[in-house]
Structure 1
Amino acid sequence: MSTSESVVKVMLVDDHILVLEGIRARLEQEKGIDVVGQATDGLEALERVKDLKPDVIMMDVSMPNMNGIETTKIFQERYPDLKVLILSMHDNREYISQLMFHGAKGYILKDVSVEEMVSAIRTVADGATYICRAATETLFRHGETMEPVESKLTPREEAILSRVAKGLNSKAISNELNICVRTVETHRQNIKSKLDLNTTAELTKYAYDQQLL
């Protein structure tokens, strides 16, 4: 979908009612975003999503009954087109890695501005990935990056990978590089094959390690 052409339907999932109501009140003031419902844990979210049919689920990680990681995994299996955006207070590398591996399209912290929250919602709704700066730094800190080695990729593939790592979707990349979407998709598949990587988090880490960002 294109967020510039249609309303993004959002469902909120958090076990803290005050947090839910506060975020809902903020988002309901935003043009182009419709908060269609809310849930207080993963099990309730799985029940409600069938009727609410949101485009984006904005969900916490730590919740009773079923946490955000397990819920994200089930959403990916049952509703592969549904976009999951994690909104958490936890700046935790393991959480971020697991959630992105299981299909979350974005990860932001609860102290982000409402403007960044809205930007993240619209970005993941369009099919791209959004990880806030603090979460990105957590993902790649503690000396876990490696020294750049001779790249396995062509300059064109590196240009595409750097944009994938920044959260651009294939259409946006095609516009920037003035090539067709099908060519971008072919390059993306070649990149994954050459690097033996599959997830956006893995590709982003490789781009970071190779100083492509």
Structure 2
Amino acid sequence: MHRAVFIDRDGVICRNRDDHVKSWEEFVFLPGALEALARLASLDLRIVVITNQAVINRRMVPMEVVEEIHARMVRAIEAAGGRVDRVMYCPHRPEEHCACRKPQPGLLLMAAEELGLDLSRCYLVGDAQTDMQAGRAAGCRRYLVLTGRGRKQLIQCWLSGERGFAVVPNLSAAVDAILRRENGATPPLSFLPIHRKGDNR
């Protein structure tokens, strides 16, 4: 079976906007993201972008515009020497209680079925607690970046007791950690031991 790196979009690859990315003109790659994706492309791993895009069902951005943003994102990544094997998004609002909106693992499960993935040997990189929850539910090795919402979301992880993931500064650092692991080196970072109050494990 194949393996993959799942990467959240907003706050990891591009700048997170409070008013959402509504057009290609509002899509801005984070510093170092294109270079990181180019390095990642050297590995025998599928690269899958997974993103919640409730702006579609909220009627803020048409699905066709979201897909055009993704198509142009992929072309820019390829022009920089990287690749994206699949872009998967959830269009649903939270109140629709779907199975694909993170923190549900539906997007990862769909990717596993379509691409023949062993999720227990896959990686996930995100900037939110919901990313970490989806990755945990799917059994992936997880990295929380401190770009985007990462710093505030790290606090939420502490408060909720979410644990078992590594914390890295940005996508570039996450890719470096994955490269080291894939090349047989022990990454010089530890998985964050987040404990609830009174938990002595």
Superposition TM-score tier, normalisation by shorter sequence: 0.3 to 0.5
State the structure with bigger RCO (CA 8 A, min sep 6), 1 or 2. 2
Structure richer in helix, relative to its length: 1
| TM-score under structure 2 length normalisation | 0.42
Normalised by the length of structure 1, the TM-score is 0.40
Query: Is the radius of gyration larger for structure 1 or structure 2?
Result: 1
